[in-house]
Structure formats: C-alpha cells, structure tokens
Chain A
Amino acid sequence: FTEGNPKWKRNNLTYRILNYTPLMGQADVDEAIQKALSVWSNVTPLTFEKIEDKEADIMISFVVRDHKDNSPFDGPNGLLAHAFQPGEAIGGDVHLDNEEYWTKDGRGYNLFIVIAHELGHSLGLSHSTDPGALMYPTYAYTDPKEFHLPQDDIDGIQAIYGQSNAPVQPTGPTTPQACDPNLTFDAITTLRGEMMFFKGRYILRKHPQRTEAELNFISLFWPKLPSAIQAAYENIEKDEVLLFKEDKYWVLRGYDIAPGYPRSIYRLGFPKTIKRVNAAYSDETTGKTYFFIADRYWRYDENKRSMDHGYPRKIVSDFGKIGRVDAAFQKDGYVYFFHGTTQFQFDPRVKRIVRKMKSNSWFDC
C-alpha cells in the first residue's frame, strides 16, 4: 500500500483522456485504457466513467521531459510512466512518457500493461516485491489477450476497496516459487546444458553451476511465444529446442525462435484427432523422440523425419506406472517424468523406474 493508505472515498470514479500518442490510433488508445480500467473494476466494486469536458478524478495524458510536476521524464526507455496516489487535483493522474514507443502489441512498450500498472497507483497501490505482480516496478510484456490480474494485485486492491460485487470472486495466477512443495510444471527441457522449467508465464532456469534457479518471464526471452507451453524437448544433434502449445510448435535454433514458426503439429505426423502434446523428450543416442499424449506415447524418428510405425503405445506398457506425463526430459542417460508434484527417474537401459522424487528436486531447497 502507499504510505498513509490513501484511497478514493467514492467507488464511482471518473477518468478523462487529455491527449493521445501519435504512434497509435485513438481507438487503440481508448481500448487500451478501457481494458486497463476493467482490470481493476473486475475485482473490486469500483466503476469508471469517461468524461470529456471537466476535471476527472483520473486525468490521463501523454507528456515529455519536464511537465511541471517535479518528476520529469527522461526520453526513450528508462522511465515509462508515473501516476499519483488518490487525492484532489493531480491526485490519481496518470502521466505517460510520450517519447516511448507505445504499441498495442509487444513490438514496443505495451500501452495497456503500463496503464494498468499506473492505475494501480492511482487507486492507492504501491509497488509489489512479487516479480509476477502487475505492480512490480519493472516493465514486462504480457500479451493483453492472455493477461490475468495476478493474485498478489487482487489481494492488494481488495484490501483497499473490498471484493467485487460479482457472485463468484475472481482469482488470479500466483508466481511460481522453486521451493514450493506443491509446484508442478507445464514442460521441461534442457537447453545447451541448462534446464528450463516452464510454468504459466514463467521459466525457471537452472544452470548446473549455479545453486539458485532464475525466474523469468517467457516473454522476456521470446516475446512471440505464448504462455503455458505444454511440451518441450531439446534435439542436441541439431542444437534445436521444440516447444509445443495446442496444435502448434515453435523451434528455437540456439536461443532464437527460427523463422516460419509456429507450424502445425500435424506436419510431424500426428493424426488430426490429437489436439495437443503433454510432454516430450529426445533420446540423443537413438535419434528417437517420444511424445506423450494422455495415456499413450508416439515415437518420432528425427533422421527419417517421420513417426515410427506401431505407435501410439500405452505409456504403462513400456514406462511403468507413471500415469499421465506433464513434462519429461532426458539427462545423463536417464529420463525424468513429471506427474503433478511427483517425479520418476527412468533408466532406459533396464527399462524401469529407479527412483521417485518431488518434482522440484532439481532446485536446491
């Protein structure tokens, strides 16, 4: 919370857009602002009404450098925007640096994300220390279509204004913590000796020589990738990582997304009945890649570039009682399967599970 716990005394607030950035269409700016306001009105009893011709509670403007509020902007990058805590006159106002490259997507700074953050200040929130929160001070891109207000921000704003009037209270995503015993993963892959654990909007990146895992947004490295990647594997021979979501896949060549992606998974030979891949790993010694889907698996020949005959087979027939697989990867001759908070170490030489562990055992907890 902002020091002194400032808040608006009314729930029906007004806003006014004083000017527009020349880099975006006015309709796109209006849409970004309306969507940013709805981020907060969806989880509280607050409402926002647009007015045109008089002083509003929240005045939104694009300004440059010294704009007479004792907090000058600094040109492109650096400071993107600021906003004032609830109060009279300048209180609640949002100022956006008009020397930034504002966009409605991820090419420049996404206007919706920045305004949604600033409106948090306009309503009385301070910065959060949760790196996944909207109110974290540094900019991180999320596709507006995939944006969900994190739980940390919901908890903060509801502590000030109370819960939403909706019959079902909204909930939001939480930031994964490496040592959370309940942590599960969407997908896991090796990448040039490192391990990448995918979870929602995040990657937990574990370097073998570093004790702590690094938490980053997927979008920080690969802005064009969606969140909630469902499967991933590294083809060490080709120095490629394949990433899957729904019926699409992307190829990372080295650290960069290769041009021409996403492509359809049906190009790999899956039948049209398959809608997504749950997990995958590639065996570097045989050149075979294993895809896990529900209770079955497919085998793909990386050299022939086609699915092997005789598949799918039941997972339980060849890998034991590991259930459905959320994520898998191969490392040092073993295959590791993840199911919920449980991890199975599988030895392909003897074709059996040799160890059972917690899913987050790779982090030094």
Chain B
Amino acid sequence: FPVAPEAEDEGKTIALVETYLQNFYNLQKDDQPHVRLKSVNPLPEKLKEMQAFFGLKVTGKPDLDTLEIMKKPRCGVPDIRRYV
C-alpha cells in the first residue's frame, strides 16, 4: 500500500524520466542542448505516450502514478518500437 512519498530530488526525477523514455519510448538523447532551445521539447509527448500505454491519466507530467510505474522492475524490451 502506498505511503506518503518522500520529497524527491527534482533532478533525480527528471533523470529517471528521461532515462526511462530513452530506453523504452525512443526519446532521443539530447546531445546538443543549444539546439533544444529552438526546437519543441519531445519529453511531454513521449510521457503522454507512456501514460496512455499504461492506462494512466495522460498529463504529460511525471505525476506519482507515472513515477511508480517507472520504478517497477520490468522487461528491457521497449514498449513501442522495434527492438533490433
């Protein structure tokens, strides 16, 4: 049963979300941060894709339910793209 979550370091949360979406939802690694300023941040869209897959409330934000799923042990095969 869930207990009140401890306040988590925001940086750690963002890193968890990014790594999860890179591993399983084909979120491209942001190697060129200066380019990112001009482009649309793909993270919320990927997050929505992940939330829809797991039947969560689709918010595009890393809410508690979303983080809970991301922390569960799982299979290493991506959920949505071809595994090669």
Chain A interface residues (CB < 8 Å from chain B):
2-4, 71, 73, 77-85, 109, 114, 117-118, 121, 126-127, 129, 131, 137-139, 221, 255
Which 10 pairs of residues, A with B, have the shortest CB-CB distance?
A82-B76, A3-B82, A79-B76, A138-B72, A139-B73, A138-B74, A127-B79, A137-B74, A255-B1, A82-B77
- Residue in B24, B55, B74, B81 whose Cβ sees the most chain A Cβ within 10 Å: B74
A2 to B83, CA, bound (A): 8
A2 to B82, CA, bound (A): 6
With known contacts A83-B77, A129-B54, A139–B83 Cβ distance under 8 A: no
Convert B13-38 into 0s and 1s, putting 1 for each residue whose CB lies closer than 8 angstroms to a CB of A. 00000000000100000000000000
Q: Are B75 and A71 in contact (CB under 8 A)?
A: no
With known contacts A129-B55, A131-B55, A81–B82 Cβ distance under 8 A: no
Instruction: Tell me how far the C-beta of A11 lies from the nearest C-beta in chain B, rounded to whole angstroms.
Output: 23
A4 to B81, CA, bound (A): 10
Find chain A residues with CB under 8 A from B77 CB: 82-83, 121, 126-127, 137
Asked if B67 lies at the interface with its beta carbon under 8 angstroms from chain A, I say no
Find chain B residues with CB under 8 A from A78 CB: 73-74
Find chain B residues with CB under 8 A from A80 CB: 73-76
Find chain A residues with CB under 8 A from B80 CB: 127
Find chain B residues with CB under 8 A from A137 CB: 24, 74-75, 77, 79
A84 to B53, CA, bound (A): 21
- Residue in B55, B73, B74, B75 whose Cβ sees the most chain A Cβ within 10 Å: B75
A112 to B40, CA, bound (A): 43
Instruction: Tell me how far the C-beta of B29 lies from the nearest C-beta in chain A, rounded to whole angstroms.
Output: 14
Instruction: Tell me how far the C-beta of B12 lies from the nearest C-beta in chain A, rounded to whole angstroms.
Output: 14
Chain B interface residues (CB < 8 Å from chain A):
1, 24, 53-55, 69, 72-77, 79-84
Q: Are A4 and B82 in contact (CB under 8 A)?
A: yes
Instruction: Tell me how far the C-beta of B13 lies from the nearest C-beta in chain A, rounded to whole angstroms.
Output: 16
Partner of B76, one of A71, A126, A255: A71
A79 to B74, CA, bound (A): 5
A78 to B23, CA, bound (A): 12
Number of A-B contacts (CB under 8 A): 64
Q: Are A139 and B74 in contact (CB under 8 A)?
A: yes
Instruction: Tell me how far the C-beta of B81 lies from the nearest C-beta in chain A, rounded to whole angstroms.
Output: 7
A80 to B77, CA, bound (A): 10
Find chain A residues with CB under 8 A from B76 CB: 71, 73, 79-82
A81 to B73, CA, bound (A): 10
Find chain A residues with CB under 8 A from B72 CB: 138-139
A188 to B81, CA, bound (A): 40
A236 to B24, CA, bound (A): 44
Instruction: Tell me how far the C-beta of A319 lies from the nearest C-beta in chain B, rounded to whole angstroms.
Output: 33
Find chain A residues with CB under 8 A from B69 CB: 138
Q: Are B1 and A221 in contact (CB under 8 A)?
A: yes
Instruction: Tell me how far the C-beta of A65 lies from the nearest C-beta in chain B, rounded to whole angstroms.
Output: 12
Find chain B residues with CB under 8 A from A129 CB: 53-55
A126 to B84, CA, bound (A): 13
5 CB-based A-B contacts, threshold 8 Å: A71-B76, A80-B75, A82-B77, A85-B83, A129-B53
Find chain A residues with CB under 8 A from B73 CB: 77-80, 109, 138-139
A175 to B69, CA, bound (A): 18
Give the residue name and chain of the B residue nearest to A121 (CB). Answer: B77
Instruction: Tell me how far the C-beta of B69 lies from the nearest C-beta in chain A, rounded to whole angstroms.
Output: 7
Find chain B residues with CB under 8 A from A255 CB: 1
Find chain A residues with CB under 8 A from B83 CB: 2, 82, 84-85, 121
Q: Are A3 and B81 in contact (CB under 8 A)?
A: yes
- Residue in B80, B82, B83 whose Cβ sees the most chain A Cβ within 10 Å: B83
Instruction: Tell me how far the C-beta of B57 lies from the nearest C-beta in chain A, rounded to whole angstroms.
Output: 9
Find chain A residues with CB under 8 A from B75 CB: 79-82, 114, 117-118, 121, 127, 137-139
